[in-house]
Amino acid sequence: MKKLILIALLASGITQLEAQKMEFWLDAGAKVQYGATMLYNSAIGDDPNYDYTITTSTKFGGKLGLNWNYTGISFDVMVGKHKGQFQNLTTAGLPNDEISMQSVDLYLLFRNAKNKGYFELGPKMGLIGDVRSGDAIIDPAQYESTSFAGVLGFGTYILGNDGAFSGILGLRFEYGFTDVVSDLGQTEGARQPVNYTGEVANTVPIFAGIVFEFNWGIGGVGQARCGEKSKFIWF
């Protein structure tokens, strides 16, 4: 029994030494995120005919990570809908207006992972597809084809953290920097996302929610044995 324990400890020590010799490594993962979404426009908030309400959306995607030491760069792709809902306050008693934008989101995130947790920060570019008001498709000329946002996230490893396999649960916050409504969509008489009154203001997407990812280690450049030249090693 003592011999088995000693062997296990030696094997663990060897694994840690080999990991320390890894110069950088690649991992890939599958992701899902869910949370609250808005299409924020200050002029709509000032309009007596409308008010904001919170809605939710879900997106699915994947990632490819380049890592070294405790830091890395993550390339994420997420696909789904970004929604905005607006409460109709007019005396006509009309239903709420809901806008949904189909989007393919591309992320380039700096990530620092240490002590079984992570922190990420970076930009996101959204490729906007169909935009709907309820079941009706809105003229695509009234919305931009791309949007840009800043992303902040943090979380913890809940399954493994050795690089070969891990499950990560975190929080992610996104705030849009650019107007998703085109000049045509801002014209009076047909303003998007609702036909509000008052001054024209930018409409930006906002998201706050949870993100979960499964990661699998691909391999990296390092030394399989002490004194050998660096080469690519598959996990």
pLDDT 10s digits, 94-126: 788 899 999 999 999 999 988 788 999 999 999
Q: Is residue 11 very low, low, confident or very high in pLDDT (cuts 50, 70, 90)?
A: very low
pLDDT value, residue 16: 42
Determine which of 15-19, 23-27, 92-96, 98-102 has the lowest per-residue pLDDT on average. 15-19
Q: Which residues, listed in sequence order, are joined to residue 173 by a DSSP beta bridge? A: 152, 208
Better-predicted residue by pLDDT, 135 or 81 = 81
CA dist 225 → 11, 14, 21, 26 (Å): 14, 10, 9, 20
d(CA 79, CA 61): 6
Q: What percent of the chain clears pLDDT 90, i.e. is strictly above it?
A: 58
pLDDT value, residue 88: 87
* Residue 3 pLDDT exceeds 60: no
Domains and CATH numbers, the chain: 2-234 (2.40.160.20)
Q: Looking up tokens 């396999």, which residue turns up? A: 165
